[in-house]
Each structure stands twice: as structure tokens, then as C-alpha cells.
Amino acid sequence: MTSSNTALITGASSGLGAEYARQLAARGFDLVLVARDLEALERIAAELRSRSGVDVEVLRADLLDPSEREEVEERIAADDPPIDILVNNAGFGLPLDFARNDIEDEVRHLQLHVEVPMRLTHAALGRMLPRRRGRIINVASVAAFLPRSTYGACKRWLVDFSRWANAQYGPRGISVTAVCPGFTHTGFHERMGLPPGEEGVSGFLWLEASDVVAQSLRDAARGKAVSVPSRRYKLLTGVVRILPASFAAGLGQRGR
């Protein structure tokens, strides 16, 4: 793809979203960066313009605000320029005790992880299908394969939706890929209120954001429906299917 191609990334102000922005800019993509933190977005945009010489559009939006989310949908559906890659990355975590969590927090959690990517994917398909090309990357989690409260349930929906959409629209030139990282150094766990560091998880299980993004972009380019970065997590997701439910649930108590 040439420098005239454009990628839109949600949750682009930090973590995996910022890493997607860096790697796609290095490949010559112009960018539309979406997040709530305008100051952080502007910093990343300035860095990428200077380093990679690409055009970077900043779109501050709270995707849980219907009017602001609609602005993002309108940008995805526009042709100025058209979006060639959509990365649905925005998300947040909650404590795992569903019964003690505030139900409105749980509803917002569900909306951001399920409704928002569904809506943005729908908007993207409306423009990609007539052109018969495009990629949609949905950042899910290995938690999709483990019992892990509502987070795992939301991510499982995203994996199943991506599998179906890739089979449905792949023959028409649109790949849809669910990316399922394991424990990744991004700051995600700290934002959940977990202690800094490795939270009692073996260092062997931790991944670097740069590796996760690079592998997922390769898998998306190959048209894969599900990308599980690293051999260790490919093995884990295979093994967990035959584990007793209680043991699998214990494994699912931590991580993205």
C-alpha cells in the first residue's frame, strides 16, 4: 500500500493504539487518531509527522457519547480520504467481581467493547465493500478463551464476530481480524487499578506491544480471522479448551 492509504485507530493515545499508529506511520499510512485525551493525541501526532512525514488527523472523541461516536462513524464513512484500515482498539477493564461492580460501569464496559466496534465496523464496511478492499482489526484478548467475568465475554463476542465477518466479507476484499494478545506491557493493567510491575505473572508470559502489533499486522495482511501473537499464547489458547472449567477460570483472573 502507498502513502495515500489511511488508517483510523481508536484508543490511539497510549498502549497498543499508539503502537499501531507508530507502525502504520512507518509503513507510510496517513492516520486518523481517535481518543478522549486531546493533549496525548497531539503529542503522538507531532511525533509521527516529524518522524515519518505522514499526514495525521486528530479526532478527540468519547466513544461512549453518542454524538461524539457518530462523528467518528461519519469520518469512517467519508471519502476525504477514505479509510483503508480501521483499528478498533479503545477499551478499559473492570474488577472481576461482577456482583460488586457498579452496573452502569458494566453497561459502559459492554458498550465500548461490543457496541462501539460493531458500529464502527458497520460504518467501515459501507465504504470498503464498494471499493472491494480494506482491513478491519479488532483488538480482543486471550481472555476471549478463558472464563473471565464480563471482559472475557465481551472479547469472546468480538472474536466470534470477527471470524464470521472475515468469512463473509473476505471474498469481497475485506479482511476482519480479531487480535488476541496476552499479558502485554502497555499500562493497561495499571489503569485497571492493579499494582505496577508484573502482578505475580511470570516474565515469560509478558509480551512487548511492538511485537503484538507487528504480528497482528502481518496476520491481517494474510487475511487471518484470528491473530494470537506469540507461540506461547497459541499453545495456551489451544490447551485451555481441554482444561476443567474451574482451572481455566483461575487462569482468567488476571490479564488482558
The domains found in the chain, sorted by start residue, are 6-251 (3.40.50.720)
Active-site amino acid positions? 151
Three cell numbers, residue 166: 472475515
Q: How far apart are CA 131 and CA 234, in angstroms?
A: 34
Q: How far apart are CA 155 and CA 88, in angstroms?
A: 12
Residues 109, 92 contacting (CB under 8 angstroms): yes
Asked whether the predicted pLDDT for residue 180 surpasses 70, the reply is yes
Q: 235 or 105: whose pLDDT is higher?
A: 105
Omega before 81 within 30 of 0, i.e. cis: yes
Say what the pTM is.
Answer: 0.87
Percent above pLDDT 90 for the chain: 73
Tens-place pLDDT, residues 65-111: 999 999 999 999 998 899 999 999 999 999 989 999 999 999 999 99
pLDDT band at 210 (very low <50, low <70, confident <90, very high): very high
